[in-house]
């Protein structure tokens, strides 16, 4: 059994919880390429953690904005390690806590803290709108920074006339070993990846950095707009995809890992198709093709693209130059590659291969009978 998305390949950029995501995708039949673009969150050194926490305890703010679940947990764990955990929890219990999303709220509630308000869509803009409605001018507002991001909250708080106090608990960085990420990007550029998933804004930013570093950014963007779909865990991440002009991001209704995987499954499964070639029933699911219910054969990315291009208009001749442009783009100018790919495609289709016909001096077409 192929599973609902057997034959499809999904690129996973996450560092944390990547194994859980990959397991969920594989359970639906997908193949996965793991190219982490984020190092796990790096907690700040004990001396910096002590200084940050001590300043907070000695002069508590009126309001604390919680940005991420990992940041909340990391701060509390770090405070415990330097014997300030109980004091920090006591001060937090007396501080008005506002949260950017359910993950941060969940971490706070698990720690026994009360969160006064949570942004429904895990949006910094919603959090700032809430603050604007409560007149915070002149108040001191601490912001638990989300790794390299959080500047939007800091700037927004300052614009409301409040004093913005940064709470830096952790940071994101590129992995020391970026070869897996580069391999993922190469597979995307070569048309071998049907979808790429993002679970954080820094992951989007770091992927652009890696792609730029290996001179593939333009190719990656082209793939995202044609052959590879982008899936983001929530609107905040999708917003960064839009800001960087990478393409259209697909976002689940709920910002949860399981919801994103279900959206990937439903979206890719809809791309599978059935058709008739030379009187044979074929089914194309990702890179797997089944003829008359026989065991499936695997197509290369180019073979699949050529087959889908011909199946768009059965019986209509598609010229060799047109196939070259639509499948290879500007990366290839030799029409001989089309002939070679057609030959291999016929072999993959077995008895149905005779239905991929050559029309002399014009091109190729698919015969349904």
Q: CATH 1.10.10.10 occupies which residues in the chain? A: 273-366
Query: Which of the pair, 125 or 357, is modelled with greater confidence?
Result: 357
pLDDT at 179 over 90: yes
> What mean pLDDT is predicted for residues 202-224?
95
> What mean pLDDT is predicted for residues 266-275?
94
Domain 9-39+174-269 class, CATH top level:
alpha beta
Residue 219: in which H helix or E strand, if any? helix 217-224
> Per mean pLDDT, which range of 21-25, 95-99, 154-158 is the poorest?
154-158
Give residue 169's pLDDT band: very low, low, confident or very high (50, 70, 90): confident
Residues 6+ positions from 211 with CB-CB distance below 8 Å: 185, 217, 220
For domain 273-366, is the CATH number 1.10.10.10? Answer: yes
Q: CATH 3.40.50.10090 occupies which residues in the chain? A: 9-39+174-269, 42-171
Give residue 235's pLDDT band: very low, low, confident or very high (50, 70, 90): confident
Residue 239 token pair: 């917003």
pTM for the predicted model, two decimal places: 0.79
Percent of the chain with pLDDT over 90: 75
CA distance 283 to 85: 59
Fold of the domain spanning 42-171: Rossmann fold (3.40.50)
pLDDT at 360 over 80: yes
The 10s digit of each residue's pLDDT in 113-152 is: 999 999 988 788 899 999 999 989 999 999 998 655 567 8
Q: Which residues of 8-41 are buried (b: 16+ CB within 10 A; e: fewer)?
A: bbbbbbbbeebeebbebbeebbbbbbbbbbbbeb
Mutual orientation of helices 257-269 and 18-27 as an angle, nearest 10°?
40
Residue 280 token pair: 């044979």
Q: What is the pLDDT of residue 150?
A: 64
Residues 6+ positions from 1 with CB-CB distance below 8 Å: 29
Pseudo-torsion of CA 11, 16, 17, 23, nearest 10°? 40
**CA dist 308 to 15, 51, 154, Å?**
34, 60, 49
Percent of the chain with pLDDT over 70: 97
CA distance 197 to 108: 27
**CA dist 6 to 32, 117, 190, 261, 361, Å?**
11, 42, 19, 14, 37
CA distance 149 to 158: 16
**CA dist 183 to 118, 214, 337, Å?**
39, 11, 24
The 10s digit of each residue's pLDDT in 14-68 is: 987 899 999 999 999 999 999 999 886 656 678 888 999 999 999 999 999 998 8
């Amino acid at each position: 059994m192929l599973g609902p998305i057997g034959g499809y390949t999904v690129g996973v950029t996450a560092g944390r919880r990547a194994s859980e995501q990959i397991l969920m995708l594989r359970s639906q039949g997908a193949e996965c390429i793991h190219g982490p673009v984020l190092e796990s969150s790096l907690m700040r050194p004990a001396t910096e953690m002590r200084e940050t926490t001590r300043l907070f305890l000695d002069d508590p703010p009126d309001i604390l904005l919680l940005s991420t679940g990992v940041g909340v947990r990391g701060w509390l764990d770090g405070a415990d390690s330097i014997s300030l955990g109980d004091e920090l929890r006591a001060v937090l219990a007396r501080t008005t806590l506002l949260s950017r999303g359910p993950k941060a709220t969940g971490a706070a509630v698990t720690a026994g803290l009360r969160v006064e308000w949570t942004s429904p869509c895990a949006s910094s803009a919603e959090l700032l709108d809430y603050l604007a409605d409560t007149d915070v001018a002149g108040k001191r507002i601490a912001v638990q920074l989300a790794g390299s991001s959080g500047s939007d909250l800091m700037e927004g708080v300052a614009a409301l006339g409040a004093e913005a106090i940064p709470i830096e608990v952790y940071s994101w960085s590129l992995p020391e070993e970026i070869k897996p990420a580069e391999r993922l990007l190469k597979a995307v550029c070569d048309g071998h990846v049907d979808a790429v998933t993002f679970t954080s804004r820094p992951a989007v930013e770091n992927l652009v950095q890696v792609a730029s570093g290996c001179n593939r950014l333009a190719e990656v963007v082209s793939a995202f707009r044609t052959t590879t779909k982008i899936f983001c865990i929530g609107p905040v991440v999708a917003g960064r995809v839009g800001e960087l002009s990478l393409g259209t991001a697909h976002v689940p209704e709920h910002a949860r890992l399981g919801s994103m995987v279900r959206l990937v499954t439903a979206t890719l499964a809809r791309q599978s198709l059935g058709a008739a070639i030379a009187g044979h029933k074929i089914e194309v699911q990702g890179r797997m093709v089944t003829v008359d219910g026989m065991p499936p054969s695997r197509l290369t990315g180019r073979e699949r693209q050529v087959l889908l291009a011909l199946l768009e208009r059965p019986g209509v001749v598609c010229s060799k130059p047109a196939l070259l442009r639509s499948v290879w783009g500007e990366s290839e100018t030799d029409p001989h590659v089309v002939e070679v790919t057609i030959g291999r495609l016929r072999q993959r289709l077995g008895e149905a291969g005779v239905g991929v016909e050559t029309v002399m001096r014009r091109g190729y077409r698919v015969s349904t009978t």
